[in-house]
Structure formats: C-alpha cells, structure tokens
Amino acid sequence: MINLNEYGWNQFHQENMDTIVEELKAENCGAGRVTLEHKRMYRVMTAEGEWLSVCSGAFQHAAYERRDYPAVGDWVVVERMPGEERGIIHAILPRTSLFSRKSAGSTISEQIIAVNVDIVFLVMSMNDDFNARRLERYLVAAYDSGATPVVVLTKKDLTDDPDHYLELAKAIAFGTDVFSVSNTTGEGVEQITDLLKNGKTAALLGSSGVGKSSLVNSICGEGKMAVQGIREDDAKGRHTTTHRELIKIPTGGVLIDTPGMREFQLWNESESLDSGFKDIEELAASCKFGDCRHESEPGCAIQQALDSGELSRERYGNYVKLQKELAFLDRKMDRQAQAAERDKWKKITKGMRKHPSNKK
C-alpha cells in the first residue's frame, strides 16, 4: 500500500472525497493524484499503485473547458478497471490552488500550470536570465493563485556577487522568502527540502535552462529528471522538460517540475493572467470618473460591487494591498535608479576634477 499522505493527501481532500463519493454513489472508487498527463491520458497514483487512467464518458460529456479536465497535481476519484493497472476518472476533487494562463477571450487555449500547490518556487538563475520585471510579474500571478510564492535563485556557483542578485530579488519580493542554491555544489538545497516537509506540494516555475529539473535532481538524487547538456555559449534554454510531472521526494513532500516558460510568454499584452485581478480592473474601468479612487465618488462600480457582494471585501483588500506594494516598489526602484545616477555623476565629476586639463 502506498501512503497517500506522502503525496499530500489531507483532511480537506478526505472530506471532499467523502461528499463526492456519496453524491456519485461511486462505490468502487478510490482517491488518486495525477502525476503525469499525456494527451488526455493520466498517470494517477493511488494507494494501490500507479494507474494509467482516462476520464469516464459522463465526465467528458460534462466537461466544457480546459480546467474541467484533470491536470498534474489534481486529486481525482478513480475507479480501477477489473484486474488491470488502469483506471477511470469520475471526478476531480476541489482544488486548493490554480495557476493558469489563458489567451484573452478564449477558454479553449487556457493552460493550467499548476494545481493544488502549497508553494510556487519562482526560479531564476543568477546570470543573464535574472530579470527584475519578470520576477515582479511572476510574483503578482503567484500571490493570487492561492499558493505561497518563494523565490529560488540558482547557479550561485557561477556568480562572484550572489548578494547583488539576492538584494535585487528581496527588494522586488517584499516579504517573500528568497533562497539561493547551487545545483553543482549542493549549497542551499537543504533549505529548499526543509520547506517541503509535512507532505507539502511545490511547483517549479521559470524560464527554460534556469535549473528546475537540476533542482529536482539535487533534492531527489541524480537522474530523476533529464537536464540540459552543458552549453557555455548562451544562457537561453532549449526546453528539455516537455511535460509537467509530479515527483515525490524521499524526505517528504512533492515537487511538480514544469517545462520552462518562454520569456514573456506568460505576460505579453495579448494575454492576461486568468488568476489576476482582471475582474477588479474591469469594474474600475466602468466607474463614472476616470480617476475614481473608489472611495466615495458617485457612480463608483467598485463600491457598488462591494455593496452588492459581487466583489468580496477581502479580495478587494488584497488588490489594494498589492497596488500599494507595487507603488512602493516603483518609488523604491526609482530612488535606487536616482542614487545610481547620482553616483555615476559623482564619479564623472570627480574624474573631471582629477583630469589635468581641468586644473586651474
């Protein structure tokens, strides 16, 4: 028997399972977690082993959009086909978190990045891949996904100045934890492993080539995931990992490795993050006054939505908090930029004073 607690099973999922089994009268069913997805076929880890599974006809009939189908990390109600290592999925248990992206106006092209994740590791390497703006975008998305973001900076062994990257990341990430690791020397890996104890699930997100699969290997032992061959000439990746995959780690907890995201793929203007605050921005756009502060102005769509309960006060509170933090960050970056500019000018003017031709 496999202990599903090690795969993240808990009281919350158990209660949902009990309810759904009762509703569906799904008597010969057990719970399982999707570890791999391949063209509408799923590997599902159950207490009795890993079964290759498909969705039942009734399930497919009721499914309408991408998120109605299972994704890696989902807990599903699965029935074993008699005498086989195969299963039929009858339902998805309610998700605790969802991180997805989707093309504007389309429900079909939604891509689910991670579900039922406690922690999102936002992975960047300490070289040319490091991009403050991208980190900020990742963070905004992660904050609203229901999972806790943690920044992981890789390839510490390749930089002379890890503090430079650490400070930058910390400035952008406000209160979020920032860790640095080297998959080559193993430095810092233990701190990451510690976060996963007690059956936590974490997903690794970041550009191709930053070392996500290497980190899985550092944690689980070499050879678990294929990683890129060494190439010294460019920092850009080539998409070694092609599938999302859920991996149980020996010391407890679960990791979801994902294919690297192409730069700005998530964030270019034709796309918006489904899990962002788009609803609030849309509401704000229909306020009577363009510069509405959503406090006591007449015709304020936000206040109306809050009063009617269409928009929860808590969610709006989170939005306001994030806006404040971003504004703070802008000012801070501005100050840093100004300080750098001042330094530059100081040096230049100093140099000018030193220059013999400027001596009176």
Ligand X SMILES: Nc1nc2c(ncn2[C@@H]2O[C@H](COP(=O)(O)OP(=O)(O)OP(=O)(O)O)[C@@H](O)[C@H]2O)c(=O)[nH]1
Binding site for Zn ion (CB under 5 A): 287, 292, 294, 300, 302
* Least distance from ligand X to the Cβ atom of residue 214, Å: 3
241 binds Mg ion (CB under 5 A): yes
Q: Given the complex with ligand X, which of 29 and 202 has the nearer CB atom?
A: 202
First to last CA, the chain: 88
Name the residue with the smallest CB distance to ligand X.
260
* Least distance from ligand X to the Cβ atom of residue 228, Å: 4
Longest dimension (CA), the chain: 97
Instruction: Write out the residues near ligand X by the rule CB under 6 A.
Output: 154-155, 157-158, 182-184, 208-214, 227-228, 230, 237, 239-241, 259-260
The sign of the torsion formed by the CA atoms of 15, 19, 22, 26 equals negative
Contact in structure between 182 and 142 (CB atoms under 8 Å): no
- Letters for 201-240 (x = contact with Mg ion by CB under 5 A, - = none) are -----------xx--------------------------x
Q: Given the complex with Zn ion, which of 98 and 292 has the nearer CB atom?
A: 292
DSSP H helices, the chain, are 11-24, 57-62, 132-143, 162-172, 189-195, 212-220, 278-285, 301-308, 313-354
Q: Given the complex with ligand X, which of 199 and 209 has the nearer CB atom?
A: 209
Q: Which does 158 bind (CB under 5 to 8 A by kind): Mg ion, ligand X, Zn ion, none?
A: ligand X
On the CB side of 63, how many CA atoms lie within 13 Å of its CA?
A: 18
Q: Given the complex with ligand X, which of 8 and 209 has the nearer CB atom?
A: 209
Rg over CA atoms, the chain: 24
Q: Which does 292 bind (CB under 5 to 8 A by kind): Zn ion, ligand X, Mg ion, none?
A: Zn ion
| Cα dihedral 12/16/17/19 (nearest 10) | 140
* Least distance from Mg ion to the Cβ atom of residue 257, Å: 6
What is the C-alpha separation between 312 and 325, in angstroms, rounded?
A: 20
* Site of interaction with Mg ion (CB under 5 A): 212-213, 240-241
